[in-house]
Structure 1
Amino acid sequence: MTAVLLAKLILAPTLVVGSTLAGRRWGAAIAGVLVSLPIVAGPILLFSWLDHGDRFAAEAASASLRGIAVLGGFALLFSVLCAYLPWPVVLGVTWVACLTGGVLMAQVHVGPVGGLLLALSVDAVCWYILSRRRADAPVAVQPRWWDLPSRAVATGLLVVTLTTAASALGPEMTGVLAPFPIATSVVAAFALAQAGPATAVAILAGVLRGLPGFAIFCFVVALLVERLGGPAAFAAGTAAALATAFVLRPRVRGTITSAAPSGSASPSRS
């Protein structure tokens, strides 16, 4: 139990902090790709395997593919709403939509192949729609000293709360809720609050670009965990996810120049 709690408190916050630093160095799209990696869902599925065995993990990983389709819709909806609404409202509306979509997707029973096709199709449509929307260039702001610690704390609290609730709901809901946009929400909401919609949209475009790697991870685990066991399946899924993310990564164009004064780094955009 201690190892599970430590993993929840360390892995996802580390991803958020690392992706934030990478975004400041190489651009918001890179941050989005990194935050879409299965650092949150991967441990959820891994501990599901440790606690409940191969079959539970296979079913949960297959269900996660439907959750990834919901995550793609979350990214698109957040991108549309953030141009018109303050970040707390955007986050509330998109979370409600995401939870509703997750409950509905838990009732859709398809295998790993069908789930993969669904995830990739929804992600492709959402990315196409987002790429067709006119977007301003993202900007950077001078972060305050508390920026990274507050992101890490927020992520850790969300991970513990949501994964603890999901673990009691069986493989279908565990899997569908595993891709719930915890890290994505933190990174996108902070970007919207501090730098405005353009930076948030750029991050979410990167998330959509990175989701195929996430989907490949879940697909590989769903197919192999009962055949090869947990260690081999999760290792193969991780390798496949990283390879897919590398192939689909956006072109790095260097750092983003700051276009906002340091005083604008408040998280209370309204």
Structure 2
Amino acid sequence: MSPELHLILILVLRMMVAAAFVVTASIITERSGPVIGALVATLPVSAGPSYVFLALDHDAAFIAQGALSSLPVNAATIFMCLTYVVLAQRRSLLVSCGSAVAVWIVFASIIKQFDWPLTAGLAANLIAFGICIPLLAGYRHVKMPLVTRRWYDVPMRAALVATLVAIVVSTSGWVGPRISGIIALYPVVFSSIMVILHPRIGGPPTAAVLANSAWGLLGFGMAIAVLHVAVAWFGSAVGLGLALATCIVWNLTLWGIGRRTLHRARQAP
């Protein structure tokens, strides 16, 4: 087998693995309502495979540096969500989603211009979420209509994530860790939720999924910080595992708090 064919086959395999992740998460999201769907959507469904495959091709220093760029990009993502949520109440998919993606691109372009130390990335997240979480709170509670999946839903989501992984892996060698960390954090899952659900169930219910994702996305930012520190100390494999564990524990905690709050509300006279 030629080296070129070997590389192509490895890339295709990586794309298929990433696609399987997002398909599974997407199905759970549709069947579980906006709260559980938001918690699943904020797991590292697309960024996780991208970083795993980057770790197979690069050393721990590359991954740690990439995580430093990814951390402020997480703050850009919450502003993207806020933009969509507000506009989706009355505007079309094209206006709402297009404006949200444009906001993300603008923030990502600004982030790319600087070297971000860990403290600055954490501060950016604290400021961004401190602004956005209260603003999103009023859009969280919307009844989710029944979603009927269409034949192209799963292939489209799988193709989006597979394409992202292909771009990250194939360009990482020449764009470096900073750009790779930014590209890896492009919110593919959120974009697919907008594109697929908005025309079918309307803007407000779709926006509710993203509004409920704010706290989960905050935990995702914490996981990126853990990734940077743990990779530097313990290597890529341990760092990736600890970052994933951070996301899972954080989201399970949010789920448990939500269940207790709902239980108390039902028992109240």
Report the TM range for the smaller structure's normalisation: 0.7 to 0.9
Seen in structure 2, the aligned counterparts of structure 1 residues 200 and 181 have a Cα distance that, compared at 3 Å, is same
Residue of structure 1 in register with 2:157 after alignment: 151
CA distance in 2, matches of 1:244, 1:109: 28
What is the alpha-carbon distance in structure 2 between the residues aligned to residue 6 and residue 115 of structure 1? 33
Distance 1:21 1:135 in 2: 21
CA deviation after TM superposition for structure 1 residue 206, in Å = 2.7
C-alpha RMSD of the superposition: 2.5
Name the residue aligned to 1:231.
237
* Change beyond 3 A, Cα 1:236–1:155: closer
Give the direction of change, closer, same or farther, for the CA distance of 1:247–1:53 in structure 2 (3 Å limit). Answer: same
Is residue 2:193 matched to residue 1:192? Answer: no
For the structure 1 residues 166 and 198, does the alpha-carbon distance in structure 2 shift closer, same or farther, using more than 3 Å as the test?
A: farther
**CA gap 1:40/1:20 in 2 versus in 1, 3 angstroms:** closer
Identify the residue that residue 10 of structure 1 maps to in structure 2: 17
Equivalent-residue separation in structure 1 for 2:129 and 2:14 (angstroms): 28
Deviation at 1:136, TM superposition (A): 4.2
Alignment pair present for 1:206 and 2:204: no
What are the ranges of 5 or more consecutive residues in structure 2 without an aligned counterpart? 1-6, 263-269
Cα separation, 2, equivalents of 1:67 and 1:190? 24
C-alpha displacement at 1:243, in angstroms?
0.6
Q: Which amino acid aligns with 2:123?
A: L
Rounded Cα–Cα distance in structure 2 between residues aligned with 1:27 and 1:251 = 13
TM-score, normalised relative to structure 2? 0.82
Structure number with higher helix proportion: 2
Is 1:86 the counterpart of 2:86 in the alignment?
no
Give the aligned partner of residue 179 of structure 2. 173
Aligned to 2:82: 76
Identity %: 24
Residue in 2 that maps onto 1:116:
122
Change beyond 3 A, Cα 1:220–1:194: same
Q: Which moved more, 1:75-84 or 1:166-175?
A: 166-175
Q: For 1:85-137, what per-residue CA distance to the aligned partner results, in whole angstroms no more than 9, with x for missing partners?
A: 32133322222221121010122433223312322431242121011358643
Q: Structure 1 residue 242: deviation in Å?
A: 0.8
1:28 is aligned, of 20, 34, 38, to 34
**1:164 CA drift (Å):** 4.5
